Amino acid sequence: MSALLRARTGSGTRPPSGREAGCRLAPRLPSLVAPTVDTEDVNARIPGRVGVGAAVILTAALSAAGCSNAPASKAADPSEAKQSIISIVEESADAVGGDWTVYRGPAAEVCTRSGGGDGARFVYILERSDTDGTDPAADIRTVEELWQAKGITTERFESGGSDPRTGIRGVDGTVTSIGFNAYPQRYSVTGVSECSGGDVQDLRSAA
């Protein structure tokens, strides 16, 4: 991707602020809608703490995996699942533009395959802390168009209050779930791949 990606280090980067027919997009990711914690202040006061914003979107994204109706055969090979999520996350960041860094991953996590049994999925998060001069509404539209073109079902979200937090989330297509937070203090893209074959411990050891 054309945007610069720098590996996140402990000292160099400040921590950032269907199976069922009734399984609908909005209920799957409820915690993305109204984060009430001031993530910038909290993270500034607690050095080394994982960013609340990233934790919120990651928790919501992982919970969405339980509603995925993607067949296991779509991403049977873990290397394909891994590369797929890297590509869509980085393409999303590249479409928005700016200087992005790796916040987490691509990290292997245990998942349950649609046919039963454990498999592996990959979580990948990029962040951008320099948001001066950005246009969140325009950036959300850009990401929305990109995802929809790839067959991802999308839904925008906005928190309440005088300074709402906005973004967009998506499911299906080439991912289990994906989210873009367009917060004034920090942008982030969090992707969770489809559940593939493979043993997570072996994948972690080989990384």
pLDDT per residue of the chain (207 residues) written in tens, 0 to 9: 544 454 443 334 333 433 333 333 443 443 333 332 333 332 333 233 334 444 444 544 544 444 444 444 455 799 999 999 999 999 999 999 999 999 999 999 999 988 889 999 999 999 999 888 899 999 999 999 999 999 999 999 998 877 788 999 999 988 999 999 999 889 999 999 999 998 999 999 887
pTM of the predicted model as reported, rounded to 2 decimal places: 0.68
Give the number of other Cβ atoms within 10 Å of residue 148's Cβ. 13
Structure tokens at 66: 């339980």
CA dist 207 and 199 (Å) reads 12
79 Cβ contact list (under 8 Å, min separation 6)? none
CATH class of 5-206: alpha beta
Q: Please, what is the Cα angle at 57 between 186 and 149, to 5 degrees?
A: 90
Question: What dihedral angle (degrees, nearest 10) is formed by the CA atoms of 5, 129, 107, 53?
Answer: -170
Output phi, psi for 142, to 5 deg: -60, -50
Which pLDDT value is given to residue 74? 53
Which pLDDT value is given to residue 42? 29
For the chain, first and last CA: distance in Å?
21
Q: Is 23 exposed, middle or buried (0-12, 13-18, 19+ CB in 10 A)?
A: middle
